[in-house]
Amino acid sequence: MTIAPNSCSRTRKRLLAAVASVAVAGAIGVGALTSGTSPVLADAVRVEAPQVPSFADVVERVSPAVVSVKVKAKVQPTADDGSDDQDGFDNLPNNPQLRRFFKEFRGFGDQGQNDDGPRRFGHRDRGHGEPRPVAQGSGFFISEDGYLVTNNHVVEEGTAFTVVTNDGKELDAKLVGTDPRTDLAVLKVEGGGKFTYVDFADDSKVRVGDWVVAVGNPFGLGGTVTAGIVSARGRDIGAGPYDDFIQIDASVNRGNSGGPTFNLSGQVVGINTAIFSPSGGSVGIAFDIPASTAKQVVEDLMKSGAVQRGWLGVEIQPVTSDIAESLGLKSNNGALVSSAQDDGPGKKSGITAGDVITQVDGKDVASPKELARLIGAYSPGKSVDVTVWRDGKSQSVKVELGKLPSSDKQASADDKPAAPAKADTLADLGLTVTKSENGKGLVVTDVDPDSDAADRGIQPGDVITAVNSTEVNGTDDVTKAMDEAVKSGRKAVLMQITRDDNNRFVALPVAKG
């Protein structure tokens, strides 16, 4: 049978309509359609919009564990005229209303911070009728018996501490311990029954792009929830030797300090500690202390009120590509030892200036920061195997770590050696040098401004003590080391430089031929 074109067209339309009606019925769960070619929805059928992600369940579970932290501190002396010389607004007219406006806008917790870089952001204000200034931050319970975590910079000037729970209860707390190096602190609420608490996550599983939820007390508002994603891992913001921050884009402001950032399982992946902001408000760049760092520090603080870290006793610097080339290293990973302290465990075990530390107990050292974190994670007295690159090969040194001093040792106040009148020239390096008074090393008296030496920061007064790990007492020693480097196929020599009693290494290119 032949089907006329018009009839075929009509049949095709009916078939398409029937298929469409079945698809609609299947999508909304309608089993029967009325007769005819046009689908008609049955009565009382509700079409629901697609489900979208919600953080409500997570927030409902974790909110009871998150608290506001109020810290009372000593009053700073004020000027006789009633104006506050400590508030950072000395150039403003002596107008109380104007000064009050700027104080409230800026927040006392940010005094002295660089507006162009990351800042700590505990919020500090006078409070209404308070005889002493009040700092406000955030925190969270980590045990049912009242231990909670916050930031060191929230509590560091405190004399009394109050915790405000999410249902408005105010509870007194005592300071258990602080760790300024990681900006962590632990408080303990006495009494009050059992508390809802949260656990730390395994932050090694946190990926860039994961959803996170921040809960805290911005501007003293309390119980504020914001959401975002993990923007980056391993951020170094110059806050200290253990920088390894998680960057998030959830809105974080003053008062969020010490507050937790959760994954969607309700576990703490990080602790809010700093933001990057030109204005002091959130611009979507916040930094969290990783849960792995916080967990170990918090455990130590709960046990003894302080953190005991291992100490290697060496000064280190990055391995640049030029330095790696001069030493025959295949990559610029590791930490170059610029000096080993006389009373440090590193020197006692045989580690010397010029060594490149590449591993600790089999764990690769990517940078000086990584070495500091690895060593700091060990307890004093622990023996570790330190792998160093020395004289063109790897060697293993066993070191019994010491206890990290509370502060860096001061350099000695010896004067720089005075330079004798006679000077020699190292033309290929752009340096003019003379022998030091004690006969050890060469004092730089002049630097060609167009030379590689000038580009790498060498300046008059520096003392060249060694080249490629060989002590130098004259220009002949330097020339010999350069010739040997060329014969070995090296493109640079490594100079050990002393300045103000501090050592560092500089790689300088050598001429070919």
Which residues are catalytic, by number? 153, 183, 257
Rounded CA-CA distance 187/137 in Å is: 13
Distance, CA of 75 to CA of 108 (rounded, Å):
13
Three-state secondary structure call for residue 101: helix
Identify the CA nearest to 430 among candidates 401, 451, 444, 446. Answer: 451
DSSP alpha helix (H) spans, 53-133: 56-62, 96-106
Cα–Cα nearest to 69, from 164, 202, 147, 151? 164
Q: Which residues contact 102 (CB under 8 A, 6 or more apart)?
A: 89, 92
Burial 253-283 (b: 16+ CB within 10 A, else e): bbbbbbbbbbbeebbbbbbbbbbbbeebebe
Amino acid at site 324: A
Say if residues 436 and 424 touch (Cβ distance below 8 Å).
Answer: no
Range 297-335 burial, b when 16+ CB lie within 10 A, else e: bbebbbeeeebebbbbbbbbbebbebbbbbbebeebbbb
Q: Are 346 and 340 in contact (CB under 8 A)?
A: yes
Place of tokens 């480097």: 485
| Residues 356 and 314 sit within 8 Å (Cβ to Cβ) | no
> Scanning the structure block, which residue is given the tokens 């008296």?
445
DSSP-derived 3-state class of residue 333:
coil
- d(CA 268, CA 258) in angstroms, rounded, equals 12
Distance CA 305, CA 354 (A): 37
Give rounded-to-5 percent helix, strand, coil for the chain.
Answer: 20, 30, 45
